[in-house]
Amino acid sequence: MLDKSLGGYVTINSFFSTSFDYNRARSFVMNEVRTNEMQRVLFEIDADPQLKNIQPFADISSISYYSEEREVLFMIGSIFRLVDIEQNDGERFWIVRIRLSSLNDYHLEGLLQRTNNKRKNLVDFATILNNMDKLDDAERYYQQSFNEDCQDEKDLCACCCGLGSSAKQKGDYDLSLKYYLKSFEIKMKKFKLNEKNSYKQALQIFQRVNVEDQSSIAMCLNNIGFISDKQQKYSQALSIWEKRLSIDYNHVGSVHTNIELTYRRLCQYDLAFCHT
C-alpha cells in the first residue's frame, strides 16, 4: 500500500523511537518474524532540526537506559513525507525512506488550508486524522482542542462536528447526536435562534449563506434526520432523508440505509426493502 502513496504523508500516532546506529536498527528488524501477513520494514529518516513548525525530536542517548543505542525520539503527531520504498532482496526486508515535514510544507499547507481556512492548530490536525480514518487519534486531538486550545467559534463548531462524525463512524449515534447538538447550540448563540425552530432556521441560514456548499447543507440535513429519528419522529426523519438524498450524491448508500432503517421502525417492510 505504501508504494502507492509515494509523495504522500505519514502521521505517527505514538512516540517514534529511532537510532543513529544503522546496524543496531537493522538487527532489530532482522529479529522480527516475517510472515505472509507481516513484512520487515526499516525506516531511513531525513530530519532537519532547522525546520520550523514541526513536532519536536531529540537525541536522548544521555538519558536512555541503553545509551549505546544512540536513540532519537520523535514526538507524537510527527508528520513524514514518503520519499522512496525499495526491497532489500538479500536480507528480505523493505527500506522505507521518509523525510520529516513541516506544517509549512507547500503541499501539506494546502491540505490544511482546505481543511480549516488556513488555521494551523489541533483542529486541522484532527481533521486530517479523521479523513485518514484514524478515528481514535482524531477524537483525542479534537477533544484536546475542545478542552484547551479551541477559543474560536468556528473551531468550536469544527471540534463538535468532528467528534460527532467520529462517533457516527463508530456507530455511537447517541454520542454523535450529543456533539452535533452542541455544534448547533454554538450556532444558535451566534444567530440568536429560538430553540423551537433552531434546526429549520439553521438549514435556512446554510442555504442562504452557502448556496453552493451542498456538503454543508447535507451535514445539516443529516443532523436533523438523526435528531428526528432519535425523537421517534419517523415521518419527519423520512422527509429529511429524502431531501438529503436529492442533494448529497456522495453518500447515497448511507442515506438509503437510514431510510431503510426508519421504515423498519415503522414496520413498513415493503418500503424498507426498496432501499436495501
Percentage of residues of the chain with pLDDT beyond 70: 69
Q: What is the pLDDT of residue 233?
A: 82
By CB atoms closer than 10 A (0-12, 13-18, 19+), residue 240 is buried
pLDDT tier at 119, thresholds 50, 70, 90: very low
In the chain, where the domains are located: 2-102, 135-273
pLDDT above 90 as % of the chain: 1
Q: Which residues, in sequence order, are CB contacts of 52 under 8 Å at separation 6+?
A: 102, 104
CATH topology of domain 135-273: 1.25.40
Residue with cell 447517541: 174
> Which conformational region is residue 133 in: left (phi greater than 0), alpha (psi within -120 to 50 degrees), or beta?
left
Q: Is the model's pTM score more than 0.75?
A: no
Q: What average pLDDT score do residues 172-192 get?
A: 70
Query: How many C-beta neighbours within 10 Å does residue 168 have?
Result: 20
Residue entry with cell 431510510: 259
Residue type, 126: A
Distance CA 192, CA 154 (A): 16
Domain 2-102 has CATH 2.30.40.10: no
What's the pLDDT at 108? 59
Which of 124-133, 152-161, 248-257 has the least mean pLDDT?
248-257
Residue 41: φ, ψ to 5°: -135, 130
Tally: H helices and E strands in the chain: 11, 7
Q: Phi and psi dihedrals of 145, rounded to 5?
A: -65, -40
CA 220 – CA 193 distance, rounded (Å)? 15
State the DSSP H helix or E strand holding residue 79, giving kind and residue range, or none if neither. Answer: strand 79-88
* pLDDT tier for residue 23 given thresholds of 50, 70 and 90: confident
Lowest mean pLDDT among 160-164, 222-226, 257-261: 222-226
Reported confidence tier of residue 196, pLDDT bands at 50, 70, 90: very low
